[in-house]
Amino acid sequence: MDRGEQCVYIADNNTAAEILKAMRKEGIDVETVTKSGALTVAGKRDAYLRGGRFDPDSMIDFLNESTDSAKAAGFSALRVTGEMTWALGSEPGVERLMEYEAKLNTFLPDHDVLAICQYNKNRFPDDLILNVVRTHPMIIFGEIISDNPNYITPEEFFDPKPELELKRTLQNVVDRDESRRNSRLIHVLSERVKELNCLYGITKMVAVEDVSLAEITKRTTELIPPSWQYSDITCARIRLNGHDYKTMNFKETIWKQSAEITVSGQKSGEVEVYYLEEKPELYEGPFLKEERELIEGISVLLAKTAERQKAEQFVREQQQMIRELSTPVMPVSDRLLVLPIIGTIDSRRARQLTMELLRSIREHRAKVAVLDITGVATVDSAVANHIIQTVQAARLLGAIVIVTGLSPQNSQTLAGLGLDLSRVKTAGDLRSGIEEANRLLGYTIVKTDAEAA
């Protein structure tokens, strides 16, 4: 009706009322379409058994007339469906039913009409249904709507030819084989998909930062059973670096597939897969060749992840060590600290430096600290600010900071920056710095004359 076709339903088994009710339930606005003529529900006597008898030719004439009047009324085509239960009856002409069905196939293609014949399989004899199947190019059976491989043309129906029958039979054999091969292919592909999903799942986990090796191992164990062929009877265990994870259904059996996990050349663990039941022999016991590849793949992924995490850990430790090495605070004499700085000073290092200095001031009760920046390559405004802040913070703890070791270039740069360096005490080099520090502390260095005795 949505396509602008006029629809005629010829009811027999069901009453008109039942048909309309079913249509309403499907959401069809029965009242509107009936009024517009788009839908008609007729009875068998209006159609098939007009005049009390069934005649194939007059039935086809009837369809022809109905199509013409539909087109005249503005519809694009006629769509007819009829319940054929009346054919079980004893009205005259019923035996010519098949003749009618065959003739329809000549009539229908040339006219704007489509017909669906409804046969109740349980009520009609099998030989009749068989003929029905052979005379209809399309078949609706259960939930299947399909073109009909068993369809024969009207000419053949009335004049059977063995060579055509043979051709059809052999085609069925070919189709069946293709179908079987497709099923096998689908099975193989779905196994590959399961395996891919497993590897993909592990890769996704590994790509996320801050997931511990233990967590990855645990989740990988869970990913294994769905990826093997017989998922329901698969269980797994992974041992890695002392971690041991098993699936809920874990049990050791004789049907085992395993792979070692080798981290940095050392055996660090094992991936084990067990089947809980016996299954037919394939490549490796009951396991597929692809499953061997998969289990190897999993163990390699886990090994690489463990190696990577170890390397990251190592780098972190090295960085920490470098940091500790790079901010030595040296108590030189009573209440005097010296800090030789080498390398670059970024905010992080500056913070660390300041913290270390303040802690040392407290610990050694220092009053003067000499900050030697001879080893600092570039002193830009950022570094200058860090130094100024360090000096200020130290002052709050009652200590004076003397900055030494500014190169001629750096001094020029600093001067040009226009910062307030008035509160920053400086000295040319470390030696002068220490001398100044001692002076501030009230010490004078006197050389003792060893000869004078």
Partner 1 sequence: MTETVKVPVLKQGDCLIATIQSALIDTDWERLSDDLSEKTGKWRARGVILDVTVLDILDSFATRILHTIAQTLKLRGAETVIVGIQPEVAIAMVQLGLMARLESIPTGLDLEEGLAFLQQQTETDRRHVG
Q: State yes or no: residue 365 binds partner 1 (CB under 8 A).
A: yes
CA-CA-CA-CA torsion for 61, 62, 66, 72, nearest 10 degrees? 40
What are φ and ψ of residue 112, in 5° steps? Answer: -85, 65
Q: Which is nearest to 434 in space by CA: 410, 400, 411, 408?
A: 400
Task: Work out how close the CB of 318 gets to partner 1 at its nearest, in angstroms, rounded to a whole number.
Answer: 26
Residue 446: strand, helix, or coil: coil
Whether 48 and 10 have beta carbons less than 8 Å apart is answered as: yes
Whether 434 and 336 have beta carbons less than 8 Å apart is answered as: yes
Q: Which of 4, 74, 398, 428 binds partner 1 (CB under 8 A)?
A: 398
Q: Tell me the C-alpha distance between 1 and 292, whole Å.
A: 58
Q: Which of 206, 399, 401, 427 binds partner 1 (CB under 8 A)?
A: 399
In this chain, which stretch among 62-70, 166-174, 292-300, 361-369 interacts with partner 1, using CB under 8 A?
361-369
Number of shown-chain residues binding partner 1 (CB under 8 A): 18
Q: State yes or no: residue 207 binds partner 1 (CB under 8 A).
A: no
Q: Which of 33, 199, 397, 400 binds partner 1 (CB under 8 A)?
A: 397
Q: State yes or no: residue 393 binds partner 1 (CB under 8 A).
A: yes
Q: Which of 214, 355, 382, 417 binds partner 1 (CB under 8 A)?
A: 355
């079987």: which residue's tokens?
Answer: 180
Of how many residues is the chain composed? 453
The backbone region for 365, taken as left when phi is positive above 0, alpha when psi lies in -120 to 50, beta otherwise, is left
Q: State yes or no: residue 383 binds partner 1 (CB under 8 A).
A: no
Task: Work out how close the CB of 358 gets to partner 1 at its nearest, in angstroms, rounded to a whole number.
Answer: 4
Q: Which of 135, 268, 299, 354 binds partner 1 (CB under 8 A)?
A: 354
Q: State yes or no: residue 382 binds partner 1 (CB under 8 A).
A: no
Q: State yes or no: residue 11 binds partner 1 (CB under 8 A).
A: no
Looking at the DSSP bridge assignments, the partners of residue 117 are 82
Q: Tell me the C-alpha distance between 208 and 215, whole Å.
A: 12
Question: Which strands, in side-by-side order, build the sheet including 256-263?
Answer: 243-246, 234-240, 266-275, 256-263
> Measured on CA atoms in the order 214, 219, 224, 225, is the torsion positive or negative?
positive
In this chain, which stretch among 35-43, 146-154, 298-306, 354-362 interacts with partner 1, using CB under 8 A?
354-362
- Cβ closer to partner 1: 117 or 350? 350
Q: Which of 362, 378, 409, 429 binds partner 1 (CB under 8 A)?
A: 362
Task: Work out how close the CB of 328 gets to partner 1 at its nearest, in angstroms, rounded to a whole number.
Answer: 17
Q: State yes or no: residue 439 binds partner 1 (CB under 8 A).
A: no
Binding site for partner 1 (CB under 8 A): 351, 354-355, 358-359, 361-362, 365, 367, 389, 392-399
